Amino acid sequence: MPKFTLPKEEYISKGHSGCAGCGATLLARHVLKGLGPRTIINAPACCWSVVQGVWPRAALKVPVIDHAFECTGAVSSGIRAALDIKGIEDVTVVGFAGDGGTVDIGLQALSGAIDRRTDFIYVMYDNEAYMNTGIQRSGCTPLYAWTNTTPGGSSCACNESPKKRIMEMLIENGISYGATVSIAYPEDIVAKVKKAKNIRGTKFIHALSSCPPGWKISPAKSVEVARLATQTGVFPLYEYEDGAFAMSKDIKSRPVEDYLMVQGRYKHLTKEMIAEIQRAVDAGYEALKAKCGKGAGSAV
């Protein structure tokens, strides 16, 4: 008999409009498995505006309020305020937004929600570019990644700026809980959102969500590539709570090349570029490990 490690309940119907191998769709599936039916989602313009399906059909089995691009933090504050004044305490409010809608255009509203200590979970599904509009660079696009607005050419080498350190910014802003998750580790997603649900204040979940069309990978490799991101230390899984960090999976064991070179968006990388990325990943991982060890324990 197989042992079920995930809740059996499904809150996303078959027939959604996600691309084959869509990381963000897998993410929502597991986030909702962790949170259950007493959840209200609000989502800005992003892939999920489409993934949910076209009116009058809707793929999710929880209420969803759609809204404009930059207001996930504000709409979340509004929903929570209304639930509070109505005396409804057992509902989890979730803002579910892409990386561009979070670290770029939605950063102000998110910061305001954190300032107000709005009690909600903000899930950023990070596919590292504006994918819904056809792969343009966002503040989450990694160094040297190809996108349609960082195509590279004779004068520049694709994306020349490093990925925004959003978790660090939001920790300084005042989140009560922060965690990175990956679609390659669904038990970790479920455990972390369950934990976040029971913490007051603004909780930020940074989820690496592979995007086959945007990353130029086969849909069949979506989970595998996401797993490589953690195994190479490019996207370590950790938690932050009450000033302390905890490593969830200390499994960095492979060179970044293993992760980068399976993706078409990195195929132009030179040996020097790979070495530069390796140095940055090593330094970031060591800095994170130095912060971890004492303090909050892992959810998993």
Partner 1 sequence: MLDLMTANAAAAKAAMLARVEVIAAYPITPQTSISEKLAEMCANNELRAKYIKVESEHSAMAALIGASFIGARTFTATSSQGLALMHEMLFWAAGARRPIVMPVVSRALGPPWNIWTDHMDVMGERDTGWLQFFCENNQETLDMILMAYRIAEDRDIMLPAMVIEDGFILSHTFEKVDVPAIEEVDFYLHPFNPDVKVNLNKPRRYGSLVMPDWAMEFRYNNALAMERAKKKVVEAGTAFKKAFGRDYGGLLEEYRCEDAEVALVIVGSAAGTAKVSADRMRERGKKVGVLKLRAFRPFPSDELLAVGKRVGTIGVFDRSYTYGQGGAIFGEVRNALFPLAGQVRTKGYIGGLGGRDVTENDFEKIFEDLLAISSGGKAGKEIEWVALKDGSLRW
| Interacting residue with partner 1 among 1, 4, 85, 155 (CB under 8 A) | 85
Q: Output 16 or 163, the one with its CB closest to partner 1.
A: 16
Q: Output 111 or 218, the one with its CB closest to partner 1.
A: 111
Asked if 66 is part of the footprint of partner 1 (rule: CB under 8 A), the reply reads: yes
Q: Output 77 or 210, the one with its CB closest to partner 1.
A: 77
| Interacting residue with partner 1 among 7, 104, 111, 171 (CB under 8 A) | 111
| Interacting residue with partner 1 among 9, 10, 20, 115 (CB under 8 A) | 115
Q: Are the beta carbons of 44 and 97 closer than 8 angstroms?
A: yes
Q: How far apart are CA 76 and CA 43, in angstroms?
A: 9
Q: Are the beta carbons of 218 and 210 closer than 8 angstroms?
A: no
Q: Is the dihedral of CA 289, 251, 29, 195 positive or negative?
A: negative
Residues near 111 by beta carbon (within 8 Å), at least 6 away in sequence: 73, 170, 173
Instruction: List the interface residues with partner 1, window 26-65 (CB under 8 A).
Output: 37-38, 40, 42, 49-50, 52-56, 58, 60-65
CB of 16 to partner 1, least distance (A): 12
Q: Are the beta carbons of 129 and 104 closer than 8 angstroms?
A: no
> Which residue in 281, 256, 264 sits closest to 146, CA to CA?
264
Instruction: List the interface residues with partner 1, window 242-281 (CB under 8 A).
Output: none
| Interacting residue with partner 1 among 108, 133, 161, 270 (CB under 8 A) | 108
Q: Output 46 or 207, the one with its CB closest to partner 1.
A: 46
CB of 171 to partner 1, least distance (A): 19
Q: Output 81 or 287, the one with its CB closest to partner 1.
A: 81
Asked if 82 is part of the footprint of partner 1 (rule: CB under 8 A), the reply reads: yes
Q: Are the beta carbons of 167 and 279 closer than 8 angstroms?
A: no
Q: Kindly determine how many residues on this chain lie close enough to bind partner 1 according to the rule CB under 8 A.
A: 44
Q: Output 90 or 272, the one with its CB closest to partner 1.
A: 90
Tell me if residue 241 falls in helix, strand or coil: strand
Q: Output 73 or 236, the one with its CB closest to partner 1.
A: 73
Give whole-number Cα distances, 191 to 163, 255, 297, in Å.
26, 28, 12
CB of 243 to partner 1, least distance (A): 25
- Residue 98 exposure: Cα atoms within 13 Å on the Cβ side: 33
| Interacting residue with partner 1 among 76, 102, 150, 263 (CB under 8 A) | 76
Q: Output 67 or 163, the one with its CB closest to partner 1.
A: 67
Tell me if residue 282 falls in helix, strand or coil: helix
> Which residue in 98, 52, 43 sits closest to 208, CA to CA?
98
Residues near 99 by beta carbon (within 8 Å), at least 6 away in sequence: 124, 125, 126, 127, 128, 129, 138, 139, 140
Query: In this chain, which stretch among 82-90, 154-162, 173-181, 289-297 interacts with partner 1, using CB under 8 A?
Result: 82-90
* List of residues contacting partner 1 (CB under 8 A): 37-38, 40, 42, 49-50, 52-56, 58, 60-68, 70-71, 73-79, 81-86, 88, 91, 108-109, 111-112, 115-116
